[in-house]
Amino acid sequence: MDLGFVTPDLRKLDRLHVGALVLYLHEDEVPLPDVRGLVDWRLCGTLSRLIQLGRVTGAADEVVLLPVGHRMACERLLLFGLGPRRSLDDAALDDAVRRALRTLARMRVHSAAVALPGRPFGDTDPAAAIAALLRVAPEEPEVDEITLLEDTAGQHAVGTSVDLERRNG
């Protein structure tokens, strides 16, 4: 698996040529924070409208596929529900990442940009989030190019975790 990073800002998102953009939502996250708010803005409030209409809820196990048309460089947007906002333990992180990778593999998407659960700027420690990805990614080798949406501090923490994992593995 090729792993890359991009800071979550609008200009960088506009240049992301990947098969899918993966975002996670909690049921009680309104207005949409961080990169999800940027994507909503780029899609002219589509995500907010879908949430207001109850068509997207962020409920646990919810998966929503949205076309993005010409508004973004990625081909499609996938939203994964996490249920009520809470701290995610290792099992919940693994489960959320596994659902996303399995869905991408079934859709035959080989490259994706992913804002891991609780990242960026969220409650999840970046090292814990990348550890979940590294534990689960071998299960779905078809998804072989992942770009993580991560702020600079998170990129540094994730890079350190990846280096340690490679040395120990």
Domain ranges of the chain: 2-168
d(CA 130, CA 158): 6
DSSP string, 136-147: HGGG-TT--EEE
Report CA dihedral (138, 140, 146, 152) to the nearest 10 degrees.
-50
Mean pLDDT, range 24-29, rounded to an integer: 90
Paired tokens of 152: 């600079």
Model confidence over 35-54: pLDDT tens digits? 999 999 999 999 999 999 99
pLDDT score at 169: 57
Q: Which amino acid is at 156?
A: H
Mean pLDDT, range 93-113, rounded to an integer: 97
Model confidence over 54-90: pLDDT tens digits? 999 999 999 999 989 888 989 899 999 999 887 788 9
d(CA 60, CA 70): 29
Domain with residues 2-168, CATH architecture? 3-Layer(aba) Sandwich (3.40)
In terms of phi and psi (left: phi > 0; alpha: psi -120 to 50; beta: otherwise), the region of 107 is: alpha
Query: Is the pTM higher than 0.85?
Result: yes
Cis status, amide bond into 31, omega within 30 of 0 = yes
Contact in structure between 41 and 54 (CB atoms under 8 Å): no
